[in-house]
Amino acid sequence: SENCEVKLKIFKRLSELCRPDVCLASNTSSISITKIASVTSKPENVAGMHFMNPVPLMVLVEGIRGLQTSDQTFTKIKEFAEFLGKTWVEAKDMPGFAVNRILMPMINEAVYVLQEGIATAEGIDAAMKLGTNQPMGPLALADFIGLDTCLSIMKVLHEGFSDSKYRPCPLLAKYVEAGWLGCKSGRGFHVYTR
């Protein structure tokens, strides 16, 4: 879940249940590892692992070190990722880390292009696939990720940096309000049959 309050409750409870030497890792695409670690009794044992979707196909894992994450914890988490066959890229504990700091504004801008009527959803996706050699267009990717997740990440970026360039597109928020969440709901920027 990209719901910060849910993650904080889970990690607080895990901290109470686990042995003091257990490393805890959160798969998060934007929530601060330092903040998650702050609710535990051993913040030095907490790190972040941002897996890319679909996890079985994508080899990248962003490793995020919280402010108090120990070298020992970070090494253990990295070794675990490598054991899973993943390629590890370290990113700072900043909103969106590296991947979503770049990816989500691109998706958000594609939604603005749609909202402004510059191109259709199909046109935007075709242009980005054929013009920039991306495997899928930004709106299809947003549908795959989940529009609610995209909106949540954009809100974290906007709040974290207090910069209007990260302001979520109103059309993205409207789609989420309508329950158009992408592939998982059958409709997003494209329509999906189940």
* Pairing assessment for the beta strands 87-91 and 46-51 based on DSSP bridges: unpaired
50: annotated active-site residue: yes
Taking residue 70's Cβ as centre, other Cβ atoms within 10 Å add up to 17
Phi, psi (deg, nearest 5) at residue 187: -150, 140
Strand partners, 61: 51, 88
Name the catalytic one among 23, 29, 49, 50. Answer: 50
Length of the chain: 194
Distances (CA, A) of 103 to 109, 115, 152, 166, 170: 10, 19, 14, 11, 18
Active site residues: 50
